[in-house]
Amino acid sequence: MNENSGEHTRPICILGLGLIGGSLMRDLAAAGWPVYGWNRSEKTVKAAQRDNFDVSGDLKATLQRAEEDDALVVLGVPMPAMPSMLEALKEHAPTVGFTDVTSVKAEVHALVEEHGLTDRFVGGHPMAGTADSGWKVTMEGLFQGAVWVVTYDNAVVLRDQDEHEGSAVRKRRWLDTWVRVVRMAQKVGADVVTTVSRRHDGAVARISHLPHVMAETLAVAGDAGGPLALTLAASSFRDGTRVAGTAPELVRAMCENNREALLKALDETLETLREARECLADESRDLKELAEEGFAARGRFEARAGRRKGDKTNRPIIRVRPGAAGWVEQLESAESMGAQISIF
């Protein structure tokens, strides 16, 4: 109903009010955006209502409302709940655009495709959060300065189908959803980085899922040294094993949902470690190569992300005009340099 009065007045409908969905609701409401939502658990619904949020436990009614007022739907649910949410979305909100917040993207895109919802979907991955979960840990400001990945898989598909009939309408509608997702992420203070789902999953396998596997492995190796080893352990062990403190079921979910990309990263890692082992075992060789490559790699990371947590990042920012000629190529170019984007 507010379709022509500017994207910021059209509502956001959040399904699933855990740490991400709930914190997003807090930030959007604080920014004055119309936002409402649904959660399966009655307890969360009551808690959110007590905090004066517009929240319901009736999924069907919430989706019908979203369809009626052309809300952007945010799926704040974890992966296992995704198929049933897509079914409900298809049935009760048959035209609205939607996004998600899960940490893998190829599997979600495949599910969306299976449900025939590709033209309504823009993938999202806000890279914020803690090991804690539930409405009680939601907070304002969670996304401030965090990266929010937004996918553009469908932009590539639509570009390559330019000649097809009806594609202009499809493109315009999808583009509208895409822009709304980007603006929403920026509204809550996130830096938007755009990519396609396969490359997203390959990257997070390396910089998020592999670090968890490495931390677990290191924790086990240290612990195998018994009390003496744990007593001597200092900051290199502390930092190297920190994320082994993540709940095991969360680690499993993130790793197993990104199986293929993580296997590739893990195989490379095994090869690097085997080579280091051979260099160490052979007294005519040394660890020079690994030590220098690792040092250079860390240096490139620090040049981009700052030396300490909370340092100002140093990423290029590319301005993009959504839908303009060549805009997909612009996104591809921004992605290749690890840039964040802003939109006209």
Residues numbered 231 to 260 that lie near its own copies (CB under 8 A) are 231-249, 251-252, 255-256, 259
34 CB-near residues (< 8 Å, 6+ apart): 9, 10, 11, 12
- Cβ 104 to its own copies, closest distance in Å? 13
Paired with 262 in beta bridges are none
- Cβ 113 to its own copies, closest distance in Å? 21
The interface mask with its own copies, positions 55-94, x = CB under 8 A, is ----------------------------------------
Out of 30, 299, 317, 326, the residue judged to bind its own copies by CB under 8 A = 299
The span from the CA of 207 to the CA of 298, in Å, is 12
The span from the CA of 182 to the CA of 109, in Å, is 18
Are 191 and 313 contacting, i.e. CB atoms less than 8 angstroms apart?
A: yes
Return the number of the residue (139 or 221) whose C-beta is nearest its own copies.
221
Site residues for its own copies, 129-168, by CB under 8 A, read 146-147, 149
Site residues for its own copies, 173-202, by CB under 8 A, read 193, 195, 199-200, 202
Are 205 and 199 contacting, i.e. CB atoms less than 8 angstroms apart?
A: no
Are 178 and 152 contacting, i.e. CB atoms less than 8 angstroms apart?
A: yes
> What's the order of all strands across the beta sheet hosting 12-15?
55-56, 35-38, 12-15, 72-75, 98-100, 121-122
Out of 165, 309, 325, 344, the residue judged to bind its own copies by CB under 8 A = 309
- Cβ 64 to its own copies, closest distance in Å? 36
Q: Would the CA dihedral through 328, 82, 135, 309 be positive or negative?
A: negative
Identify the three-state secondary structure at position 161.
coil
Alpha-helix runs per DSSP H in 258-287: 259-281
Asked if 265 touches its own copies (CB under 8 A), the answer is yes
Asked if 204 touches its own copies (CB under 8 A), the answer is yes
Compute how many residues bind its own copies; rule: CB under 8 A.
101
The span from the CA of 200 to the CA of 336, in Å, is 12
Return the number of the residue (117 or 233) whose C-beta is nearest its own copies.
233
Q: Are strands 317-320 and 121-122 parallel, antiparallel or unpaired?
A: unpaired
Out of 79, 156, 203, 343, the residue judged to bind its own copies by CB under 8 A = 203
Return the number of the residue (242 or 321) whose C-beta is nearest its own copies.
242
Asked if 213 touches its own copies (CB under 8 A), the answer is yes
N residues, the chain: 344
Q: CA angle at residue 296 from 293 to 301, to 5 degrees? A: 125
- Cβ 281 to its own copies, closest distance in Å? 6
Out of 220, 317, 329, 342, the residue judged to bind its own copies by CB under 8 A = 220
Are 71 and 15 contacting, i.e. CB atoms less than 8 angstroms apart?
A: no
Return the number of the residue (185 or 204) whose C-beta is nearest its own copies.
204
Stretch that binds its own copies, among 78-86, 112-120, 300-308, 321-329 (CB under 8 A): 300-308
Return the number of the residue (118 or 208) whose C-beta is nearest its own copies.
208
Site residues for its own copies, 93-132, by CB under 8 A, read 127
Site residues for its own copies, 18-57, by CB under 8 A, read none
